[in-house]
Amino acid sequence: MKKIIIGDQIVKSFGEGEEKRRVLGGVSACINEGEFVAVMGPSGSGKSTLLFALSGTDGIDGGKVMVDGKDISEIGETELSDLRRSKMGFVFQQPTMLKNLNILDNIILPSMRGNRKNAAKMTETARALMKRVGIAELEKRDITQVSGGQLQRAGICRALMNSPKVIFGDEPTGALNSQTAQEIMDLFSEINAEGTAVMLVTHDAKVAARAERILFMNDGTIASELTLPKFDGSNPDDRIEKVTVKMREIGI
Ligand SMILES: Nc1ncnc2c1ncn2[C@@H]1O[C@H](COP(=O)(O)OP(=O)(O)OP(=O)(O)O)[C@@H](O)[C@H]1O
């Protein structure tokens, strides 16, 4: 299977001098085309740091990250940001959106950079995505006039604007009630079933159980891995049970 992202022996530290702390201690992890990967582990184990390293959002101190066959340390800032914009989408716990723009413009804005000529096409794409995730009627609303779940749907539209090869999510359901979280996870599963790879950082076994590979981090390393069949909606409870058993086994 083709690997879209390869992280090889990634080392990352924060702080200086005596305060310096190694957060990733030589982590190797990849994302295959169309794969759904979850990253679990205790708070502070390095999950988000790994996500930011693999997506080229943050630099690393050692090792290598390859995106679509390119070593990202060997390309300039502009090429890296183009690569991130064209191949990756990002969904966070709470989408950061601009208060003075409506939902539609917030979805379009990040993909417009350097591409103003395509405004009509972008609007068309955004409208199709909004319809698809069930928020078509909200395009003119301010971001303060929608629910947390609706805002997260808008965040997912924004992440999908450039048809990325991979979507990264950092606790995308962390701020949602369980019903809305389930709906958002259904959306991630659908997006993945259509061929987009997904990597989600989560503390929630229910969320991780949607993945086909779960990386369990501990203290800056991948302590264990669990593989499940691709999610097709069947046996959700069995999958969650497998994840929780594994979590207990490795003590997280
Ligand atoms: N920009 C930063 N500057 C300094 N320390 C940082 C920075 N980002 C992360 N850290 C530290 O690195 C460690 C790992 O952080 P990270 O956010 O990757 O953990 P995590 O497993 O995602 O945790 P959580 O589940 O709480 O989100 C933590 O001790 C954190 O305080």
Residue-wise DSSP of 178-200? HHHHHHHHHHHHHHHHTT-EEEE
Ligand 1 nearest-atom number relative to CA 45:
21
* Model pLDDT, residue 156: 94
Which domain covers residue 97, as residue numbers?
A: 3-250
Using left for φ > 0, alpha for ψ between -120 and 50, and beta otherwise, residue 213 falls in beta
- The count of domains in the chain is 1
Point out which residues pair with 12 in neighbouring strands.
24
Q: Is 160 helix (H, G, I), strand (E, B) or coil?
A: helix
Minimal-distance CA residue to ligand 1 atom 5? 14
- List the Cα angle 90/200/243 in 5-degree steps: 170
Q: Token pair for residue 139?
A: 């395009």
Residues 106, 111, 114, 119, CA torsion sign: negative
Distance from C-alpha of 46 to C-alpha of 42, rounded to nearest angstrom:
9
| Residue-level pLDDT at 251 | 86
Does the beta carbon of 43 sit less than 6 angstroms from any atom of ligand 1? yes
Residue 191: which region, alpha, beta or left (left: phi > 0; alpha: psi -120 to 50)? alpha
**Residue-by-residue pLDDT tens, the chain, 252 positions:** 899 999 999 999 999 988 999 999 999 999 999 999 999 999 999 999 999 999 999 999 999 999 999 999 999 999 999 899 999 999 998 889 999 999 999 999 888 766 666 888 899 999 999 998 999 999 999 999 999 999 999 999 999 999 999 999 999 999 888 999 998 999 999 999 999 999 999 999 999 999 999 999 999 999 999 999 999 999 999 999 999 999 999 888
Cα–Cα distance measured from residue 126 to residue 160, given in angstroms and rounded to the nearest whole number: 9
Instruction: Compute CA 239 distance to the chain's CA centroid, rounded to the nearest angstrom.
Output: 21
The amino acid occupying position 15 is G
CB 221, CB 26: distance < 8 Å: yes
pTM: 0.94
Ligand 1 atom showing the smallest separation from residue 50 Cα: 18
Contact 44 CB / ligand 1 (< 6 Å) = yes
- The total of other beta-carbon atoms located within 10 Å of residue 76's CB is 8
Residue 27 and residue 220 in contact, taking contact as beta carbons nearer than 8 Å: yes
Rounded CA separation 8/160 (Å): 27
CATH code where residue 121 lies: 3.40.50.300
- Distance (angstroms) between ligand 1 centre and the Cα of 21 equals 10
